[in-house]
Structure 1
Amino acid sequence: MQALRDRIASRALGPGDRMPSVRRFAAQMNVSPSTVVEAYDRLTAEGMIRSRPGSGFYVTNTHLPPMKVAGMGPPRARNVDPFWVSRQSLDARPGTLQPGCGWLPEDWMPQDALRKGLRALAKSDAALLTNYASARGSETLRRCLLGRFAEDHLSPTPGQLMLTASASQAMDLICRLLLRPGDTVLVDDPGYFNFHALLRTHQVRIVSIPYTHDGPDLTAFQSALSGAPRLYITNSALHNPTGATLSPQVAHRLLSLTAQTDLTIVEDDTFADLEPDPSPRLAVLDGLNRVLRIGGFSKTLSASVRCGYIAGRADWIEALVDLQVATSFGGPSPVATELLAQVLTGGSYRKHIAELHRRLARARKTAITRLAPLGITPWVLPQGGFYLWCRFPEGTDTGQVAQRAMEAAVMLAPGNVFSPSQTAASFMRFNVTQMDAPRVYDVLAAAMR
């Protein structure tokens, strides 16, 4: 009975699912069929399952315990738990410095263009201000994205693109469509911690692939393919958290290794515009056959005006649109998407991005120089973006450093938050745009003692 309760609690068996046959489950548990019959009868009496004569036993839609995300997977120390880092950054008190957060400061964003767009929207048709979004999201913004994709030599049809509420929601929809509890998913190690947390809610098996300066370790990747994984989730450009960039050789080899498998690759391209010189993209090389591209605008336009997208095979997009309708009743806010479209097409966006490239280059150089006296050095020199993945002196536990720094109102992102294998205790991710204040370095020095 407990084994069955565990399967139902973990969502390996969901409402309406058929329970294992009496004989099959008896063999699995190494007990007699009569014992299984008694267990099923007791669970039926509890209302957890019900019998359909001639068909078997089925899970009911009652008595399911609430899903507690933080309790899924092996427990971690709170200071290297993804939710600790997310909450410390999202709920930061006034005056807290945030070199561990994942966004640009307000004065780095195109505030004038956003305000101009908001003024224009205030005069727009009432339907835009009051109605639901269409199922695929704003046609204006989708046309804009298709034009931008074409500049990168990727030419999806309109039926291969949809908008979502965010890149994180895009990832969730893909997981809902393609994964079942117990499936295997490959992730970069280190990699984006919120995707790892999301995968835990889907009750999948996470297999981490060491990330190198040129991309995933191909020997480890090839070995992991023997476990028949369903998904591989990665950043090709300005990898989060390392800032590394996928090399052409690794990109081609990666696609060759997966050619005869059922693996689907999800390529998060959220940081694309922060890369001055575009690098190889798996979605472009693959032609959106086995690669899904996702992205958003929170890193370059506004984290307040959330919107993401998914580009992929037309049949998958059609199914994902249905899922979004079922879970959100349509695409993202028309107000948000029309505002983003206005800024992207208004003429000032390219100037904004060019200025970001210059400011980011200066900020990276300054941060590296100021971290060096502390013995903190970058693992790789990124070609763009705002992250530095840095190694601390031998023997330093960055989780403890982050805990001490938080007590001094400096929020940091320790390495093991990003590492499913918990092998990055001597690393930390820094956001160079959030490191102007001398207090950041003073607190770091004190926390390392």
Structure 2
Amino acid sequence: MIRIIWKYWKYSLFVFIVLIAWTSFLQTTMVSESGVGRYFEALYYSLTLFIIGGLDIGLPSGGSATSLILLWICYFLAPVLTLGAVYQVIQEKVLSHFSPRWRNHSVVCGLGRNGRLIYDLIKEHEPKDHRIVVIERDPNNSRSIFLRKSKTTWWLRDDFSQLAVLRRANVQRAKRVYITTNLDITNLNTLVSIQGMPDRRKGLKTFFHLGNLGLHDLWKDSFLKDPLYAGVRIFNGYQVVTRRLYRHWVLQRNYLDPKGNIFIILGYGRFGQMLFYHLSSDKERKSHDDIVVVASRMNIDLKRRKFQNAQEQAVMGCFIHNPIEGDIHSSDIWELVAGKIRDSRKNAILFLCRDGDMENLELAVNMKLGGPEELQKATIFCRLYSHTANEINDILEKSITPDQSRDIVVFPMQEELKEAFHEELFD
């Protein structure tokens, strides 16, 4: 209830003022009607406060001290609330259509997961008076209140893929542009539009997110060598954060056994695919290291290119097993995974890579409590994005022993992704 009131505080304050004013007017001699009519007259007076501030009904009089004090408060609050609403409408409907003539500013295209972190990093690393244009269509995004209040941020509620919108954001005069969404084609079209501007400043740096590794390599090896794309850099959120997981957590924290390891990836979305990419392409991994992927749906192209060539991969690097397709929560799948570990006799490291934070954590706990012995002894990396420290502590303290929880390694994806962007885009 409190959250709802806070979210709609302006409407709640309006209703509160109307009720207080209505009740107070009824306690004064200002209401001249009798019977049912006095209630409607008091309501009319209450609503009048928001329109003309009570100029046609006079000042509070003819009542108790309490009712008069409350009326005076309403006389001041009602016009202020009205002026605030009018200003917001003017700002959103009128002023937002005028583009400020900024130079050397930053432009953030899209305010999703990547865009929010990049925006925060800009605020942290640039001077306080550095100006930022955010192009985001969603009026209900999680930063909407902050964006409206920021004096150095102009929130352009429009489609950044349109050339006219980019012109309004003065992209051609910007210092840096960040194209952050997971829509690869939209990002590429936007990049082409920006680089094709004849009046684009020479020192402009453009960073664009590209999720498809095939397109990533194609652009890096061909298009980015064209002088037209000088100053352009590609980045991939999942690629950089999984690289930090592998290099800074797995490799540097002594989780590996030199005698051999079996890496098990549970969940094969973009996070799982990028982690697989780092594991399978690491030249330091030897044939005595194995990779097993478990997911309900698999990428057919990857199956053809990677899993069917497992014997060749065994000579070149990690041995890549055929994927296990099925429900990750199923005891049958757990037994298949445990069998892989048992047959290999290697150090087992599991990665829970799905998007659901609490689902990952609950799966880790359930494996430790009711899974096969091989899973209970394995090290489990649990990917969590949101800040859920309290929930994590509650689950771990109430569900499993300290020895069991020690083998569950929480990977704070949001903090690591922000640090990865800092290294990739700001150093």
Q: Does 1 or 2 have the higher relative contact order (CA < 8 Å, sep 6+)?
A: 1
Greater fraction of residues in helix: 2
Fold in common (TM above 0.5): no
Task: Give the TM-score normalised by structure 2.
Answer: 0.26
Pair member with larger Rg: 2
